[in-house]
Structure 1
Amino acid sequence: MRAVVVHTFGGPEALELVEVPVPAPGHGQVRIRVSAAAVNPVDAVTRAGALVEAGLMAPRPVTGIGWDVAGEIDEVGAGVPDFAVGQPVIGLRDLLDRSLGSYADYLVLDASAVAAAPVGRTAAEAATLPLNGLTAFQALDLLDLAEGDSVLVTGAAGAVGGFAVEIAARWRGLRVIAQVGAEDAGFVRGLGATWVLPRETPDLAEAVRALVPGGVDAVLDTAGLGAGALAAVRNRGSFVTVVGGADPMPLRGIRVHHAWISADGAALATLAGYDLTLRVADTLPLEHAADAHTRLARGGLRGRIVLTTEHGGGS
């Protein structure tokens, strides 16, 4: 089978398409025949070696690339009663230091990291959900909010931010302040944001407190604003960041957390049951992974580029 791997860290040209044996599922695992794999910023930093430099991943001779996968069950290992061969699924590979990622024809995952694919969506659309949807879902869990509470989402038009706004507003009953660029204001209102603040707002905390006197109950900081966003939170509120190095000091009794993603099939199943907005910027064949990374580096994408195999998955 084909897989995209890295032997020597570097730019997009470091991505190599190689032939490797088809992996076999062990106890509690399934093998997925991959149709689509989303291209995420974490894939680029993995390819460049930044995760090894940061101590988040052990160095290894061959590094697999890709977290998100959509496809169908190809083989079921022992002790897996809930999946059947041919079933459309989505999954998340959250183990970094492995020689195979989701940029491949086949991928073995623990069954606990897999869920039935969202109904009525293409494989390319479904592949955009696991990493960013779970990050938003788990970050909102850490905020521990009740229906009617208020939350500021920074970077609200991004992949994680967009899911966070939609989940918070439509499925958790929260009042959402979305901070975005002017060009994305209509988009986040469509996701359910109660208020929208421009990204260029000179004093974010002051603007937030004008909308919610005393400050919001929580902030989900996907833009890495840190202390600038913490100032918008009420005393003894909560703050979650998804950006490394953006954890502010827990002033005024505010609970500060960092959302570190973990694969969770049950949560994925919940997300797949929501009618979430799934954004595909473009689809490219697996062998064009380097082109996808080059386009990702240019920025300006709305949605994810998705790599597809000959098994299908185009939008």
Structure 2
Amino acid sequence: MRAVVIHAFGGPEVLEVAEVPVPAVRERQVRVRVEAATVNPVDLATRSGALSEAGLLPARDVIGIGWDVAGTVDEVGPGVTGVVPGERVVGLKDRLDVPLGAQAEYVVLDADAVTRAPSGHSPVEAATLPLNGLTAVQALDRLELAAGRTVLVTGATGAVGGFAVQLAAARGLRVVAVAGAEDEALVRGLGAEWFVPRTARLGEAVRALVPGGVDGALDAAVTGAAALDAVRSGGVFAALVAGGAPLPLRGTQVFNHWIRADGARLADLVALVEAGSLTLRVAEVLPLEEVAAAHRRLAKGGLRGRLVLTP
């Protein structure tokens, strides 16, 4: 089968679509015939060597690329229940020390990392949900903010940020969204109560709207200390990049959030998609062979959805 791999770290030119053996299924695993796989910032960090430099990616001769996937179950291993061959699913590969990723013709995932795909949506759309949707909902869960509280979401037009705005609003949280000045209508449509254009003086701008500061922040744009300044003393702050959390000034609770695969939680997100409460956004679809072009496009920024590869 074909799979996106690298043999050395570097720029997009190190990406290769190689012929590799179809992965075998083991106990409590499923093999998925990939119909769509999303390109995410973590893929760029894998390819460039940033994850390795952070001590998160073990050294190997061949490293596969890709985390989230939509496709059809091809085979199930012993001990698997609730998932059958022929079923359309979405899933997430959250382990770094495995030889192949989701950007391939087939991928093997733990059975508890997949759930049925949302009905009424194409595999291309469905593939944009697992990584970014789970990142947003799990980070919000850790913030533990009750309905009526205020939350700041930076990068509100991005894949994680857009989901976070919708999920937070659905919980009854009052959302302050940060994005480009041209995106106000978009983020308000996602459920934001307040809008702040990107600014170097973020704390000041947010506190002008929410005196005393917001109760919590989900920093999808990795603004760090600038977003923390918008949080009230004793508030809570979720950083979404390894090692990128600011110091917990003013008694704030600051944590780095790292995603974990969770088929049950992903099923909750699928239900929200089917109910029309969560929006799947695709920026562009490219064939697997154009993975290097996808990396270059993602690195430029400014996308209002995800790039998706199809084998």
For 1:36-47, list aligned pairs within 5 A: 36-47=36-47
Note the C-alpha offset of 1:210.
2.3
Is residue 292 of structure 2 the alignment partner of residue 290 of structure 1? yes
Greater shift, 73-82 or 284-293, is seen at: 284-293
- The aligned residue for residue 81 of structure 1 is 81
- The aligned residue for residue 178 of structure 2 is 179
Note the C-alpha offset of 1:45.
1.6
Cα contact 1:223–1:243 (8 A) shared by 2? no
Structural RMSD (CA): 1.2
- The aligned residue for residue 224 of structure 1 is 222
Note the C-alpha offset of 1:246.
2.9
Note the C-alpha offset of 1:222.
1.3
Q: Output one character per residue of 1:58-109: Cα deviation in whole Å (capped at 9) or x when no partner.
A: 1100000000100011111111111011111001111113221011111000
Cα contact 1:225–1:246 (8 A) shared by 2? no
- The aligned residue for residue 248 of structure 2 is 250
- The aligned residue for residue 207 of structure 1 is 205
User: Gapped runs of 5+ residues in structure 2?
Assistant: none
How far apart are the structure 2 equivalents of 1:8 and 1:266?
36
- Structure 1 stretches of 4+ with a deviation exceeding 3 A read none
Greater shift, 125-134 or 212-221, is seen at: 212-221
Q: Output one character per residue of 1:187-216: Cα deviation in whole Å (capped at 9) or x when no partner.
A: 10010000001112x532222222222221
How far apart are the structure 2 equivalents of 1:82 and 1:192?
34
Is residue 132 of structure 2 the alignment partner of residue 132 of structure 1? yes
Give the counterpart letter for 1:293 in structure 2: H
Give the counterpart letter for 1:231 in structure 2: D
> Aligned with 2:189: secondary structure?
helix
How far apart are the structure 2 equivalents of 1:205 and 1:284?
39
Note the C-alpha offset of 1:296.
1.8
- The aligned residue for residue 312 of structure 1 is none
For 1:1-315, list aligned pairs within 5 A: 1-170=1-170, 172-200=171-199, 202-275=200-273, 276-309=278-311
Distance 1:203 1:295, change over 3 A: closer
How far apart are the structure 2 equivalents of 1:82 and 1:135?
24
How far apart are the structure 1 equivalents of 2:21 and 2:201?
55
How far apart are the structure 1 equivalents of 2:116 and 2:30?
13
Give the counterpart letter for 2:208 in structure 1: A
Cα contact 2:242–2:258 (8 A) shared by 1? no
How far apart are the structure 2 equivalents of 1:224 and 1:71?
31
How far apart are the structure 1 equivalents of 2:226 and 2:16?
41
Note the C-alpha offset of 1:287.
1.6
% identity of equivalent residues: 64
Give the counterpart letter for 1:30 in structure 2: V
Cα contact 1:152–1:220 (8 A) shared by 2? yes
> Aligned with 2:212: secondary structure?
coil
> Aligned with 1:274: secondary structure?
helix
Q: How many residues align?
A: 307
How far apart are the structure 2 equivalents of 1:282 and 1:176?
28
How far apart are the structure 1 equivalents of 2:309 and 2:240?
25
How far apart are the structure 1 equivalents of 2:130 and 2:71?
13
How far apart are the structure 2 equivalents of 1:154 and 1:50?
23
TM-score (norm 2): 0.96
How far apart are the structure 1 equivalents of 2:229 and 2:16?
45
How far apart are the structure 2 equivalents of 1:41 and 1:282?
15
Cα contact 1:71–1:90 (8 A) shared by 2? yes
How far apart are the structure 2 equivalents of 1:163 and 1:148?
19
